[in-house]
Amino acid sequence: MILISTLLPLIFWIFYGSLSQMIGHNRKSMSSIMANQRLRWVKNAVRRDTPLDGILTGNIMSAVSFFASTSVLLILTMFAVIGKLDDLLPTLRSLSWQIDYSDLDYQLHFMIMLIMTVMAFLSFTLALRHFNHFCILLGAADHTIKDNSAEVAAMTALNTQGARYFNNGIRAYYFSIANVGWFLSPEIGMALAVATIGFIIYREYFSVTRKAILQLPSTTI
């Protein structure tokens, strides 16, 4: 039970993509709907010669950079906690509800938390890299050409992939909430992990926001 509770958030995070694809066969996700809106954005961006699109891209990159920097701080914190774990064990044990975790349980749990934080950092940096390439292509776009489907397709692919990596990093943060619940009891940790993936699925496939965006115009290259 303790081991399952420790690993469950990581398992859910790793296999969410496969679960999302299964649900996506019958219902469009928020991400797929927004991918079409990203295509609309790029097709409009290459037609106008204004700083608007550069500003929008800069705002996105700033948000991603914030999460990447925060992940670095969390990684350093995890290393510091693991290094001082012996001193922290009495305090951590006082949080547990009628469960006696061993030293190994705590060590393994913090290692899982560290792994998820590192993966979140890698996801955010990959997102930043893709948005950076998107920004370069956006700046290189020739606004005198009325239709360049290859250019539009490349920019849309980079923007969409960057968003996927960003969402992957955000999900790692979400599932870390379940990791915190583990300190109270394994049952709470498992319940939070299940609740988290339920929340993410609701947001992607059944939320009011998804319904509103679905009503917007769509486009193809």
Q: What is the pLDDT of residues 10-36, one digit of tens each?
A: 999 999 888 887 887 788 888 888 989
Flag whether the pTM goes above 0.85.
yes
Alpha helices in the chain (DSSP H): 2-24, 30-45, 52-83, 85-95, 103-140, 149-181, 186-205, 208-214
CB atoms within 10 A of CB 156: 20
| 158 within 8 A of 87, measured Cβ to Cβ | no
Share of the chain above pLDDT 70, in %: 98
| 121 within 8 A of 72, measured Cβ to Cβ | yes
Round to whole Å and give the CA distance between 22 and 14. Answer: 15
End-to-end CA distance of the chain: 50
* Per-residue confidence (pLDDT) for residue 221, from 0 to 100: 59
Average pLDDT over residues 45-55: 84
Average pLDDT over residues 80-109: 86
Average pLDDT over residues 84-92: 86
In this structure, of 33-37, 80-84, 95-99, the range with the lowest mean pLDDT score is 95-99
Q: Where are the domains of the chain?
A: 2-214
Nearest C-alpha neighbor of 56 from the set 67, 43, 45, 47:
45
pLDDT interval class at 64 (50, 70, 90)? very high
**Helix (H), strand (E) at residue 219:** none
**Residue 145 in this model has a pLDDT that exceeds 80:** no
* Per-residue confidence (pLDDT) for residue 217, from 0 to 100: 77
Nearest C-alpha neighbor of 159 from the set 125, 123, 134:
134
| 22 within 8 A of 207, measured Cβ to Cβ | no
In this structure, of 39-53, 74-88, 207-221, the range with the lowest mean pLDDT score is 207-221
* Per-residue confidence (pLDDT) for residue 220, from 0 to 100: 67
**Residue 218 in this model has a pLDDT that exceeds 80:** no
**144 Cβ contact partners less than 8 Å away, ≥ 6 residues apart:** none
Residue, of 147 and 4, whose pLDDT is higher: 4
Average pLDDT over residues 121-127: 96
Round to whole Å and give the CA distance between 28 and 38. Answer: 15
CB atoms within 10 A of CB 53: 20
